[in-house]
């Protein structure tokens, strides 16, 4: 009996901690991010959409995501998805002018907002 009570509590703790972990990153429309950039700067958010442009060199690069409400460039150090892929991206929103000197970016990326990718997965 003790073992079944412990098992139930362990499962409950696992489910609650998983919910807290995954809800820590709020999914937003790109239009929301661009409409109120100061609200999202340096905060981790998630976006979902189609990759419309993609540049990669030695596993690092940038790709542009279009979610139907707008487009946002995403910078990655772990590889970029191909053009046309549907992705969910988690990352931190930054001002592109502040990261332009760190990353070698295409000219189209060096102004406005960008997302520094923490992770991405195909949908």
pTM: predicted TM-score of the whole model, two decimal places? 0.72
User: Could you read off the pLDDT of 54-82 as tens digits, one per residue?
Assistant: 999 888 999 999 999 999 999 999 999 99
Report the distance separating Cα 122 and Cα 14, nearest Å. 25
Residues 6+ apart with CB under 8 A from 24: 44
Average pLDDT, the chain: 79
Fold of 26-122: OB fold (Dihydrolipoamide Acetyltransferase, E2P) (2.40.50)
pLDDT of residue 42: 87
Domain boundaries, the chain: 26-122
Element (H, E) at 52: strand 44-57
């Amino acid at each position: 009996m003790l073992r079944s009570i412990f098992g139930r509590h362990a499962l409950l703790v696992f489910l609650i901690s998983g919910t807290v972990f995954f809800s820590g990153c709020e999914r937003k429309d790109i239009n929301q991010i661009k409409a109120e950039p100061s609200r999202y700067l340096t905060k981790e958010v998630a976006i979902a959409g189609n990759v419309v442009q993609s540049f990669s060199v030695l596993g690092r690069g940038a790709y542009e995501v279009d979610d139907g409400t707008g487009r946002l460039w995403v910078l990655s150090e772990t590889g970029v998805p191909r053009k046309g892929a549907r992705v969910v991206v988690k990352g931190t929103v930054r001002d592109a002018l502040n990261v332009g000197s760190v990353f070698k970016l295409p000219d189209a990326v060096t102004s406005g907002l960008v997302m520094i990718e923490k992770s991405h997965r195909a949908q």
